Amino acid sequence: MYDKEKIIPGLIVFVLIAVFPILYNRGNAGHIPNPEKPKAARECVRPVQDMRESHMQLLIDWRTDVIRDNGARYATAAGGTRYARSLQLGCMKCHDSKRKFCDECHNYAAVKPYCWDCHIEPKENM
Amino acid sequence: MDIKRRKFLKLAGLSAVAGIGAPSAFNMLLRGEVSASEGKPSGHGGGEGHGAASTTKYRYGIVIDVRKFASIKGLAGKCIKACHTIHNVPNYGNKKDEIKWVWVESYEHAFPEHSQYKRNERLHKLPILTMCNHCDNPPCVRACPTQATFKNKENGIIMMDYHRCIGCRFCMAACPYGARSFNWRNPREKDSQGRYRFLERINPDYPCRMRGVVEKCTLCVERIDRGQIPACVEATGNTGAMIFGDLNDPNSEISRVLRETFTIQRKPAVGTHPSLFYII
Ligand code: SF4
Ligand code: SF4
Ligand code: SF4
């Protein structure tokens, strides 16, 4: 091989640069989302795992049921908590910080739900 | 032989076209016919005045006593402010971008089909408070390609699902009353200090809209569902300037007023069956 003494160190440098980020971050899983739970509320409208998996579907179902099919605007959770079937009047009354609750996971998962294009987050500065 | 084959192919082609095309065209006509008349064979508007009985369980309407609005200064403005504050309706400060759920119209614009010849001065000065008529036969609903605008099956209110609206503005072209407004810009635009430019104050219990959707009066369905009356009606207090109620209930106050008083509707001849009535 010609230019062995140039090519081999070059390759070594290249590989080192390429794997540097992996080595540098080893043992560190990065920022884990940690949505802040409301302190006062006793229970959520559905079990936590259901909410994690399908809160978006629940919101869409509430919308259709309330405005199109005359579903009730209020309901009662399994443990007896009465709640409004509404993002602003329901969810956000307990989860009163979009930044500390919604954004935690949405940012982590890199999803940009368009709820807030119209809906108003609690205590948004006016 | 050759000619026979040509003839045969022509015939076959023609009958195939007829066979495929005819039934669907027929169906379209049939469907159009059905939705245009919607079980109201005599309902061509003009002759019928106040409109046929609604097929929904409730049909909410409002009687607006224009005489009261003329005599009580600032009453119309109070109604508009109540509605627009509660519903986060932006004020862009120019006619081109204007969003209005409820507004004041002149007599000749509100009732263009009435003769204006030698009308007395009083009529021309009347502030006619107008909003969505929540038509019993709503052309906006038929025009909407996405069902973003629809008639609620129970209360007859013409509602909107802003999530579905694609901003095509067909409904605006279809509405004979100009009751719909399009968001040309973002209603929650902020200035350099982070304040809303077009909203004086925000009601955190009600959503806003976004750029590219149409919006209009909802007859305060969110309040009616909680047993309250519409905000504009509430703003008139005990003046009796607006009477809200169920038109399907013969014993409601609004039904009684309609029986006992001479009222008119906006453009009854277009057959929309408005649920707003005016005492002039
Ligand atoms: S007034 Fe216009 S927007 Fe309202 S229901 Fe009638 S057609 Fe639709
Ligand atoms: S602008 Fe929205 S509500 Fe109006 S017709 Fe189009 S989709 Fe329907
Ligand atoms: S009925 Fe409600 S939404 Fe409609 S104009 Fe009055 S206050 Fe506004």
Q: Given a cut of 90, is residue B276 above it in pLDDT?
A: yes
Partner-chain contact A88 B206, CB within 8 Å: yes
The nearest CA of chain B is from the CA of A32 a distance in Å of 31
Partner-chain contact A89 B205, CB within 8 Å: yes
A23 or B52: whose pLDDT is higher?
A23
pLDDT at A115: 94
Partner-chain contact A73 B204, CB within 8 Å: no
| DSSP bridge partners of B278 | B64, B264
Partner-chain contact A120 B210, CB within 8 Å: no
HSE-up of A87 (CA within 13 Å, CB side)? 23
pLDDT at B99: 97
Q: For ligand 2, atom 6, which residue shows the shortest CA distance? A: B168
Ligand with an atom nearest the CA of residue B160: 2
* pTM assigned to the model: 0.81
Counting atoms of ligand 2 from 1, which one is nearest the CA of B170? 5
Q: Which residues of B fall below an 8 Å CB-CB distance to A?
A: 88, 150, 152-155, 159, 161-163, 194-196, 201-202, 204-210, 221-222, 225-226
User: Looking at residues B232-260, what average pLDDT do you find?
Assistant: 96
User: Which of B155, B162, B204 is the closest to A88 by Cβ?
Assistant: B204
B141 ligand 3 Cβ < 6 A: no
Partner-chain contact B204 A122, CB within 8 Å: yes
SS3 annotation, chain B: CHHHHHHHHHHHHHHHHHHHHHHHHHHHHHHHHHHHHCCCCCCCCHHHCCCCCCCCCCCEEEEEEHHHHHHCCCHHHHHHHHHHHHCCCCCCCCCCCCCCCEEEECHHHHCCCCCCCCCCHHHHHCCEEEECCCCCCCHHHHHCCCCCEEECCCCCCEEECCCCCCCCCHHHHHCCCCCCEECCCCCCCECCCCCECCCCCCCCCCCCCCCCCEECCCCCHHHHCCCCCCHHHHHCCCCCCEEEEECCCCCCHHHHHHHHCCCECCCHHHCCCCCEEEEC
* Full DSSP string of A28-86: ---PPP-PPPPSS----SS-HHHHHHHHHHHHHHHHIIIIIS---SEEE-TTS-EEESS
Best of B197, B222, B224, B228 to mutate (most A CBs within 10 Å, chain A): B222
Mean pLDDT computed over every residue of chain B: 88
State ipTM. 0.78
pLDDT at B11: 78
Q: Using an 8 Å Cβ cutoff, are B128 and B66 in contact?
A: yes
Question: What whole-number distance in Å separates Cα of residue B156 and Cα of residue B136?
Answer: 7
Q: For ligand 1, atom 6, which residue shows the shortest CA distance? A: B135
Options 3.30.70.20, 3.20.20.80, 3.30.830.10, 3.20.20.120; CATH of B58-113+120-279:
3.30.70.20
Q: For ligand 2, atom 2, which residue shows the shortest CA distance? A: B165
Q: Using an 8 Å Cβ cutoff, are A63 and B163 in contact?
A: yes
pLDDT at B100: 96
Partner-chain contact B205 A118, CB within 8 Å: no
The nearest CA of chain A is from the CA of B126 a distance in Å of 36
Closest CA to A114 of B74, B78, B163: B163
Alpha carbon B227 to chain centroid, angstroms: 22
Pocket residue to mutate for ligand 3, from B131, B157, B203, B209, most atoms within 8 A of Cβ: B131
- The stretches in chain A having pLDDT less than 70 are 124-126
The tens digit of pLDDT for each residue in B100-132 reads 999 999 999 999 998 888 888 888 889 999 999
Residues of chain A with Cβ-Cβ distance to B151 below 8 Å are: none
Confidence band, pLDDT 50/70/90 cuts, at residue B8: confident
Question: What whole-number distance in Å separates Cα of residue B147 and Cα of residue B140?
Answer: 10
Chain B within 8 Å of A118 (Cβ-Cβ)? yes
Counting atoms of ligand 3 from 1, which one is nearest the CA of B244? 1
